[in-house]
Amino acid sequence: MSIGELLAATVPMVRTLNLEYLETTPEKAVLALPDQSEYRNHVGGPHAGAMFTLGESASGAIVLAAFGDQLSRAVPLPVTAEIAFKKIALGPVTATATLGRPVAEVVAELDAGNRPEFPVSVAIRREDGAVTGEMTVIWTLRPNS
């Protein structure tokens, strides 16, 4: 089962918004939010909550791709999230997530008995490539007790 299939099966909001997993690797995750009238805002674009969910879901996908081999000893959890809306988004949008720290560095912190935190940056784009939003989600790997 791919990460996208796993998240679609276990996270109801992913199915609700019909998020599409276009690419999911430890280096980059790209998700799409189709243009759906029931999730539009007052200006006809995707609602801010839908774009937040898209961005957070992209950040979660890259975390699972990068740290899936650590799940037997730690649970990935978002700590904080911040989003900035830069331009009006209309039509379908994509979110591209990238890790802000090297995987090996985060795992070394976990190996040392610490609870590492690391940022994931997300760019949300319209079909024309314009960045409509930027998001940072700080994640942690909480060691299992």
pLDDT for 121 equals 98
Q: Could you tell me what percent of the chain has a pLDDT over 90?
A: 98
- What mean pLDDT value characterizes the chain? 96
Rounded to an integer, the average pLDDT of 23-50 is: 96
Q: pLDDT of 78-132, one tens digit each?
A: 999 999 999 999 999 999 999 999 999 999 999 999 999 999 999 999 999 999 9
pLDDT for 145 equals 75
Helices then strands, counting H and E runs in the chain, come out as: 4, 6
pLDDT for 80 equals 98
- Residue 28 structure tokens: 């980059």
Q: pLDDT of 21-32, one tens digit each?
A: 999 999 999 999
The answer, yes or no, to whether residue 1 has pLDDT greater than 90, is: no
Helical segments of the chain, H only:
3-10, 12-16, 48-67, 103-111
How far apart (Å, rounded) are the C-alpha atoms in residues 66 and 23? 13
Global pTM value: 0.96
Check: CB of residue 110 under 8 Å from CB of residue 74: yes
Q: What is the dihedral of CA 20, 57, 36, 86, to 10 degrees?
A: -120
pLDDT for 22 equals 97
